[in-house]
Structure 1
Amino acid sequence: MIELDTLKPKYQEKILEISLTTEQEQFASSPLAFLADKTIGVDHHVIKIEGDVVGFFKLDRYFSEQNDFAPVRSLGLKAFVIDPAFQGQGIGQRAVNALPKYVKSHYPDFNTIYLTVNCKNDAAKHCYLKGGFIDSGELYLGGPVGPQHILYQDLSSRGI
């Protein structure tokens, strides 16, 4: 069973054990960079299976203030990583599917989740789309590794 949780000190060692493939490194945050990020308004979370940490992600409460494409009260999903040892098992998609309920319980003032995914990262885009995100049809051109698709999920219409 997938469980999403806020980052706690007891998870830090497990996060550092997550290794990224060379391909993942260009698109996602390393475990060390993830833990070192102290950006105000960015909250750290983990993805667990049966209590074991298998991934991590960040939720940015100021995402809409920094990105014109995101309306007010939009939360930004960033640095979504699943350990390569657990990829290909549907864990990423199940975590994405669990995200709306988790966000509504922890961030009730937000109506929408936004993210950008690199145009070269088809696997991640497919995972987000299968998890209920919608492609806006627009591109974000400020990414460090080229253009990115802008995806979103409206939480107010999901009846959560």
Structure 2
Amino acid sequence: MHVALTRYESLSPGQHDQLLDLALTQQQIRHVGDIHGGLHTLTARPVADRQGFVLLIDELPRGFFLLKCRTLLPGWALQQSHVTTTLHALMIDRRFQGQGLGKRCLQALPELTRALWPDTEQLMLAVDAGNHVARELYRAQGWQELPERDAVNAGAECVMRLKL
């Protein structure tokens, strides 16, 4: 099994079509949305402030995630004193879960981020507070949960950070 991460723009037309067939569980869709929503984000401007990555297994798309920076940062990442890049919509095809592929994506993030935006000092993400599997995966990779700042939405999402 050959596993690789590639930029969305590098996919062949056939791989673009295959990516649309990424199979997610209803729980995954509830937490991160579906592939169509993730791909819609790639139309955001400016293009230089976002990048989509596809996890390929034997040249077939089996996962996806987005990175955003600067003008496209969400509100929960704007008050940071460090230069921040955020992770969004990490999704692994349900037929390939449990094989360590999400972990491999997370382990590749520091290098991918530095290649895109060398001034990045930290990565951040928001995860549903009830998504214990994802939260444990992130913690196991060195991400730290930040204290809640929004009393209105307390307990709905956890914001996590990985210092580079």
Alignment size in residue pairs = 153
Contact 1:2–1:94 (8 Å) recurs in 2: no
Paired position in structure 2 for 1:158: none
Alignment RMSD: 2.3
Q: CA deviation at 1:130?
A: 1.5
Unaligned residue ranges in structure 1 (runs of 5+): 156-160
TM-score (norm 2): 0.81
Paired position in structure 2 for 1:39: 44
CA distance in 1, matches of 2:135, 2:149: 13
Q: CA deviation at 1:121?
A: 0.6
SS at match of 1:137: coil
Check 1:95–1:79 CA distance in 2 against 1; reply closer, same or farther (3 A cut). same
Asked whether 1:3 is paired with 2:4, we answer yes
Check 1:137–1:3 CA distance in 2 against 1; reply closer, same or farther (3 A cut). farther
- Range that drifts further, 41-50 or 84-93: 41-50
Among 59, 72, 76, which residue is 2:67 paired with? Answer: 59
What aligned pairs does 1:1-160 form with structure 2 within 5 A after superposition? 2-8=3-9, 9-10=11-12, 11-37=15-41, 38-40=43-45, 41-62=49-70, 64=73, 66-67=75-76, 68-138=78-148, 147-155=156-164
SS at match of 1:138: coil
Structure (1 or 2) with the greater helix fraction: 2
Check 1:70–1:80 CA distance in 2 against 1; reply closer, same or farther (3 A cut). farther
Unaligned residue ranges in structure 2 (runs of 5+): none
- Range that drifts further, 102-111 or 44-53: 44-53
SS at match of 2:99: coil
CA distance in 2, matches of 1:130, 1:71: 25
Identity of aligned residues (%): 24
CA distance in 2, matches of 1:142, 1:3: 40
Q: CA deviation at 1:66?
A: 3.2
Check 1:94–1:65 CA distance in 2 against 1; reply closer, same or farther (3 A cut). closer
